[in-house]
Amino acid sequence: MGRAICELFAAEGARVVVNYSASREAAEEVAAGIRANGGEAVAVRANVAVDAEARALIEGAVERWGRLDVLVNNAGWSKVTPHAKLDELTDEIWDRTLNVNLRGAFYCMRAAAPHLKQQQGAIVNIASVAADTGAGSTIVYAASKAGLISMTKSFARVLAPEVRVNALSPGAVHTRFAGWPEEIFPAAARRSPLKRIATVEEVAGAVLFLACGATAITGENLRIDSGLTVLGPA
């Protein structure tokens, strides 16, 4: 999803900072592809769960490009852990999930806020329908995304009227995230009202809408899940 978001924003004329924590090769590939197509992009390593690194990421973007208009909090981590096996949900999984998914988003929003206010900018937080269903890869992952949606509303109040803050909740999207087995994706497609799952390009389009087109929307959470949420638990 991060690749699709970066490429779409670059195609629309944005100068893009591609953040990565461990996937340097993939991030450099995305940035190089954008530059090859005439855009402007740079890959920057930062662990957003560390306040100093999140601040350096934001300040580096402003120093390089002279301004900051949009922040997309797409960093996320999870490890598939059966919900019923409570003892397998270790403190390590709890800490890493909350540090990346929730604390990292807070650090980035806090660092970006003064710059975004100058540009009447926007923030889009990538949450998950797990926040609504309580399902997903782990109990703590669902909780972290519910917390992110709540924090989205808080920041929408705090940063208004200059900055709009919204969340986007994908359902099943065919990516490598969390190492889900391949069979879950066609199963989700068969179950959904639309008989398919959202693509990464559709997720990117929704992010672009919230960041640039939804000029009267703030504090909201947009689901992009082919209608799976309305069906309730499987």
Residue 184: per-residue pLDDT:
78
* Active site positions, annotated: 141
Positions of the chain with pLDDT under 50:
none
Residue 191: per-residue pLDDT:
87
Tell me which residue has tokens 């940063």: 159
Q: Environment class of residue 228 by beta-carbon count within 10 Å: exposed (0-12), middle (13-18) or buried (19+)?
A: buried
Contact 199/225 with Cβ under 8 angstroms?
Answer: no
Tokens, residue 92: 């390590």
Tell me which residue has tokens 């900051």: 68
Spans of all domains in the chain = 68-231
How many alpha carbons lie under 13 Å from residue 127 in its C-beta half-sphere? 32
CA distances from 139 to 27, 49, 88, 223 (A): 29, 20, 11, 19
Residue 115: per-residue pLDDT:
98
* CATH code 1.10.10.10 for 68-231: no
Residue 175: per-residue pLDDT:
79
Residue 183: per-residue pLDDT:
79
Residue 233: per-residue pLDDT:
57
CA distances from 93 to 74, 102, 141, 231 (A): 19, 13, 9, 29
Residue 212: per-residue pLDDT:
97
What gap in Å lies between CA 101 and CA 111, rounded to an integer?
16
Residue 24: per-residue pLDDT:
95
